[in-house]
């Protein structure tokens, strides 16, 4: 049988093959870690956008110098309000999550497979310290929160600032004024200036380089 005879069925049914190929590529893309990460962050942004815009101001994907001067640290979400500044670390995980406030590493389990990852509370503590330094505000002006998306189920008793649901409810439960209008205005102005002056692509590349250097 000639090559042409083998090729003819493909050519005559090319719309079907093109559709199947497109579906395959789409499924692979939707299942990729990069898409899941982007989609998770988008969902959190979408949820935070439901907060009262007159009281809460949002900032996302911020790069700040580390307090120890060793490169930068990346903050997922920051919300400035009269009730404090919320620093939110998002984790897109599924499966069972085991961990405690003091453990340096937590565990994700999916069936019999276990993976360890850095305690996100410790990770977000660094973010809060970096933001304290950047804004010149004391620790009691900040609220640290770790929010899991992706269907994660906690199998350990988690601290009150580690959630897998009701993000807005947790934020709204903090309703005692902490920041006066002047302090809120200064914080918003500095973060807005940071957003406008940051080239996200360059900042992300530099951040990864500094991570690799420290890990090496």
pLDDT in tens, 177-201: 999 999 999 999 999 999 999 888 8
Q: Residue 38 falls within a domain, yes or no?
A: no
Tell me the pLDDT tens digit for each residue of 33-60.
554 555 667 778 888 999 999 999 999 9
Q: Tell me if 144 is assigned to some domain.
A: yes
Note whether residue 62 is domain-resident: yes
Split at pLDDT 50, 70, 90, the class of 30 is very low
Structural domain span for residue 109: 54-215
Residue 4, token pair as written in the block = 């042409």
Burial of 139 (0-12, 13-18, 19+ CB in 10 A): exposed
Does residue 129 fall inside a structural domain? yes
The answer to the question of residue 105 being in a domain is yes
Whether residue 124 is contained in a domain is answered as: yes
CB of 108 within 8 A of CB of 117?
yes
Q: Which of 82, 59, 194 is nearest to 141 (CA)?
A: 82
Q: pTM (2 decimals)?
A: 0.81
Pick the closest to residue 210 from 80, 89, 64, 110 (CA basis): 64
Q: Which of 152, 168, 188, 162 is nearest to 44 (CA)?
A: 168
Tell me the average pLDDT across 3-8.
Answer: 56
7 inside domain:
no
Q: Band of the pLDDT at 29, cuts 50, 70, 90?
A: very low
Cα 93 to Cα 89: distance, rounded to the nearest angstrom: 13
- Dist CA 134 CA 72 (whole Å): 12
Residue 188 lies inside a defined structural domain of this protein: yes
Domain tally for the chain? 1
Beta-carbon contacts of 77 under 8 Å, excluding residues fewer than 6 positions away, are 44, 45, 48, 58, 59, 60, 86, 87, 88, 90
What is the arithmetic mean of pLDDT over 153-161? Answer: 95
- pLDDT for the residue numbered 61: 93
Tens digits of residue pLDDT in 97-149: 999 999 999 999 999 999 999 999 999 999 999 999 999 999 999 999 999 99
In this prediction, residues 50-79 reach a mean pLDDT of 93
* pLDDT of 11: 57
Residue-averaged pLDDT of the chain = 86
């Amino acid at each position: 049988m000639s090559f042409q005879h083998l090729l003819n069925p493909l050519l005559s049914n090319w719309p079907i093959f093109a559709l199947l190929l497109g579906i395959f590529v789409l499924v692979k893309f939707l299942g990729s870690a990069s898409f899941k990460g982007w989609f998770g962050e988008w969902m959190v942004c979408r949820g935070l956008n439901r907060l009262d815009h007159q009281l809460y101001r949002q900032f996302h994907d911020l790069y700040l110098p580390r307090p120890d001067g060793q490169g930068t640290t990346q903050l997922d979400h920051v919300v400035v309000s009269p009730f404090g500044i919320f620093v939110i670390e998002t984790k897109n995980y599924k499966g069972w999550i085991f961990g405690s406030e003091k453990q340096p590493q937590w565990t994700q389990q999916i069936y019999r497979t276990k993976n360890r990852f850095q305690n996100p509370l410790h990770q977000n503590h660094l973010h809060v310290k970096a933001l304290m330094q950047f804004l010149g505000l004391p620790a009691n002006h900040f609220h640290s929160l770790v929010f899991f998306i992706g269907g994660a189920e906690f199998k350990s008793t988690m601290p009150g600032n580690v959630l897998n649901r009701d993000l807005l409810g947790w934020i709204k439960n903090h309703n005692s004024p902490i920041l006066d209008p002047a302090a809120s205005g200064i914080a918003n102005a500095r973060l807005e200036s940071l957003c406008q002056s940051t080239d996200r692509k360059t900042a992300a590349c530099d951040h990864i380089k500094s991570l690799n250097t420290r890990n090496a």
